[in-house]
């Protein structure tokens, strides 16, 4: 199947008319109109705060995510974006945290900073008990402790000694090669691996498991597994410093008692939803070709999802508003997409591909996909996925935005976000370049991902950037160059 697909893309690429970059003059008049609308009549901050304050967090499949998706669709419809719609795909049950309280009650009282893992089951009521520490125990030792573990609050890991202190290299500040994936992870450790420990604790009837985060200074990172089985032990993550204190006391033989409550509910609707809306093409020769711009709307559950990926989602939403306010009539169709399920494996983008890019003709009609995801702050340009011919074209399109600090396209690609499945099919798909200051070590997937991390002018700039590139791609003669596939 893969060989046939690649062969088809090669054939399509050979018949597409690709105009040289030197012949592509940006539509400067429209760029100025986009800037004026995006700077003088911006709604970026208001929309951003609505998305993060009213509709954050947006865990895939949850009622909270669905409410956010409906809000975006309704905004599109109100602005006159055509065929504003939700497109469902199968995901599995959603999850909502209803109550979480974690307190140390002995040897002294202290409220603790903790977050449940998404899709964790509920605890059976409030549990107040002495903690049981097994971070330094072998599987055999844990099995021998079964009677002590029934109904226990179990600390599963050793004290955390390493922390996330670094972000990826900053594209806007460094001439070094930008690392294109996520930064190296910092692990939490236990003598018995989690995959071996989990069934032992489940059979013993533990009440809840608690492990440390790898972030410092009260920042807690928590994600989760949508396939958490029924009957699993409820689980949560505790701030590293507080976890370490309690674990050290337990190692010394000092009794520590916690009072813990975790209540969650499941949504049995198996669907989650992408949000789509169009400005239909008006040139009969190219109207069926699609310029697709998108970002993932979903987030994790610990905060508002403001930088992962609220700013990228806002850029797409505000770009749609800007172009709607200008009453644009593009040659090609401009389509806006807010994806669900990115955090669980780029699921929304993959669902779109399955539904809309099934045939050779469908794939031939994708002019380009522009994605806005990792990092925060201003958009500096695009990662060009080694596509030198497209880079020459995009470099020409940078120039009208130099007053907004849009300064660079880089040859390298970047992974781990929604443009990847398009790129893997040989389609032109590029992701925005943003800096990573405090992103990897502070906000991404944590309880610190709040809208205070973004400035209004950065939000405005991101939206103008996407609207400009979408418009240029919709109006150009010929096609965005495609990479040959070997």
Inform me whether the pLDDT recorded for 175 exceeds 50.
Answer: no
Last residue of one domain, picked from the residues 265, 300, 331: 265
CB contact at 8 A, 55 and 67: yes
Inform me whether the pLDDT recorded for 414 exceeds 70.
Answer: yes
Query: How many structural domains are present in the chain?
Result: 2
How many angstroms separate the Cα of 347 from the Cα of each of 58, 88, 89, 272?
15, 11, 9, 10
CB contact at 8 A, 209 and 156: yes
Compare 208 and 166 and report the one with higher pLDDT: 208
Q: 246 with 285, same domain?
A: no
Question: Do the domain assignments include residue 464?
Answer: yes
CA 36 – CA 28 distance, rounded (Å): 12
Q: 31 with 108, same domain?
A: no
Q: 180 with 103, same domain?
A: yes
Q: 183 with 153, same domain?
A: yes
Scored b (16 or more CB within 10 A) or e, 99-125 reads: ebebebeeeeeeebbbbbbbbbbbbee
Mean pLDDT of 341-354: 99
Q: 409 with 273, same domain?
A: yes
Q: 47 with 115, same domain?
A: no
Q: 147 with 242, same domain?
A: yes
pLDDT mean across residues, the chain:
92
Inform me whether the pLDDT recorded for 15 exceeds 50.
Answer: no
CB contact at 8 A, 157 and 287: no
Residue 439's pLDDT is: 83
Cis before 472? omega within 30: no
Residue 162's pLDDT is: 85
Q: Could you tell me the pTM of the whole model?
A: 0.93
Residue 197's pLDDT is: 97
Last residue of one domain, picked from the residues 250, 265, 280: 265
Inform me whether the pLDDT recorded for 308 exceeds 80.
Answer: yes
CA dihedral (142, 143, 149, 155) in degrees, to 10, reads 20
Q: 417 with 447, same domain?
A: yes
Give the structural domain span for 317. Answer: 2-93+269-475
Q: Are strands 366-371 and 290-296 parallel, antiparallel or unpaired?
A: parallel
Q: 467 with 377, same domain?
A: yes
Inform me whether the pLDDT recorded for 440 exceeds 90.
Answer: no
Token output for 132: 């049981």
The DSSP-derived string for 311-337 is HHHHHHHHHHHHHHHTT---SSEEEEE
Inform me whether the pLDDT recorded for 266 exceeds 50.
Answer: yes
Q: Residue 119 gets which letter from DSSP?
A: T
Residue 7's pLDDT is: 42
CA 330, 334, 335 angle in degrees (round to 5)? 160
Mean pLDDT of 240-249: 98
Mean pLDDT of 319-348: 99
Confidence at 437, pLDDT banded by 50, 70, 90: confident
- 60-112 per-position pLDDT tens digit: 999 999 999 999 999 999 999 999 999 999 999 999 999 999 999 999 999 99
Strand order from edge to edge, sheet including 94-106 = 110-111, 94-106, 257-267, 127-133, 153-155, 208-212, 235-238, 114-116
From 251, 425, 408, 242, select the one nearest 349 (Cα to Cα).
425
Give 475-478's long-range contacts (Cβ < 8 A, gap of 24+): 475/27, 475/30, 475/330, 475/331, 475/332, 476/19, 476/24, 476/393, 477/19, 477/23, 477/24, 478/17, 478/18, 478/19, 478/23, 478/24
Q: 401 with 383, same domain?
A: yes
Question: Do the domain assignments include residue 114?
Answer: yes
Question: Do the domain assignments include residue 407?
Answer: yes
**Helix, strand, or coil (residue 292):** strand
Q: 284 with 339, same domain?
A: yes
Location of structure tokens 């080694």:
386
Mean pLDDT of 299-306: 98
CA 47 – CA 320 distance, rounded (Å): 12
Residues ≥6 apart with Cβ < 8 Å to 253: none
DSSP-based helix, strand, coil % in the chain, nearest 5: 35, 20, 40
Inform me whether the pLDDT recorded for 486 exceeds 50.
Answer: no
Last residue of one domain, picked from the residues 265, 284, 315: 265
CB contact at 8 A, 300 and 343: yes
Mean pLDDT of 108-136: 98
Residue 174's pLDDT is: 56
Residue 484's pLDDT is: 73
Inform me whether the pLDDT recorded for 11 exceeds 70.
Answer: no
Q: 133 with 221, same domain?
A: yes
CB contact at 8 A, 72 and 315: no
Residue 188's pLDDT is: 74
Question: Do the domain assignments include residue 481?
Answer: no
Question: Do the domain assignments include residue 369?
Answer: yes
CATH for 40: 3.40.630.10
């Amino acid at each position: 199947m893969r060989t046939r697909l690649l062969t088809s893309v090669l054939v399509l690429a050979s018949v597409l008319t690709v105009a040289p970059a030197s012949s592509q003059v940006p539509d400067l008049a429209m760029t100025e109109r986009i800037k004026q609308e995006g700077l003088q009549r911006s709604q970026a901050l208001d929309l951003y705060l609505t998305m993060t304050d009213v509709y954050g967090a947006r865990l895939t499949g949850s009622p909270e995510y669905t409410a956010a998706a409906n809000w975006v669709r309704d905004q599109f419809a109100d602005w006159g974006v055509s065929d504003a719609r939700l497109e469902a795909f199968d995901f599995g049950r959603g999850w909502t945290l209803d109550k979480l309280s974690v307190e140390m009650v002995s040897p002294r009282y202290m409220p603790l900073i903790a977050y449940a893992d998404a899709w964790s089951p509920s605890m059976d009521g409030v549990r107040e008990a002495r903690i049981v520490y097994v971070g330094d125990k072998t599987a055999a030792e844990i099995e021998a402790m079964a009677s002590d573990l029934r109904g226990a609050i179990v600390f599963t890991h050793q004290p955390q000694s390493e922390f996330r202190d670094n972000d990826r290299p900053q594209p806007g500040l460094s001439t070094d090669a930008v690392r294109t994936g996520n930064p190296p992870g910092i692990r939490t450790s236990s003598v018995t691996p989690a995959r071996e420990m989990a069934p032992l604790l489940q059979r013993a009837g533990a009440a809840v498991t608690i492990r440390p985060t790898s972030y410092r200074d009260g920042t807690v990172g928590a994600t989760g597994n949508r396939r958490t089985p029924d009957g699993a032990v409820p689980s949560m993550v505790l701030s590293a410093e507080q976890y370490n204190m309690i674990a050290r006391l337990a190692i010394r033989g000092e009794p520590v008692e916690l009072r813990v409550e975790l209540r969650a509910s499941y949504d049995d609707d198996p669907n989650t939803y992408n949000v789509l809306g169009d400005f239909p093409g008006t040139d009969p020769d190219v109207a069926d070709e699609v310029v697709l711009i998108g970002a993932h709307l979903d987030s994790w559950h610990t905060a508002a999802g403001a930088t992962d990926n609220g700013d990228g989602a806002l850029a797409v939403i505000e770009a749609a508003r800007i172009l709607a306010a200008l009453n644009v009539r593009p040659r090609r169709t401009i389509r806006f997409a807010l994806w669900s399920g990115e955090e669980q494996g780029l699921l929304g983008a993959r669902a779109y591909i399955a539904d809309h890019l099934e045939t050779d003709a469908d794939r031939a009609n994708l002019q380009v996909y522009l994605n806005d995801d990792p990092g925060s702050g201003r958009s500096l340009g695009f990662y060009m996925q080694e596509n030198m011919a497209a880079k020459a074209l995009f470099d020409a399109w940078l120039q009208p935005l130099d007053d907004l600090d849009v300064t660079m396209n880089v040859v390298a690609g970047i992974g781990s976000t929604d443009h990847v499945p398009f790129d893997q099919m040989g389609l032109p798909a590029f992701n925005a370049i943003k800096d990573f200051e405090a992103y990897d070590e502070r906000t991404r997937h944590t309880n610190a991902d709040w809208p205070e991390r973004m400035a209004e002018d950065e939000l405005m700039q991101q939206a103008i950037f996407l609207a400009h590139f979408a418009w240029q791609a919709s109006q150009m003669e010929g096609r965005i160059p495609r990479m040959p596939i070997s």
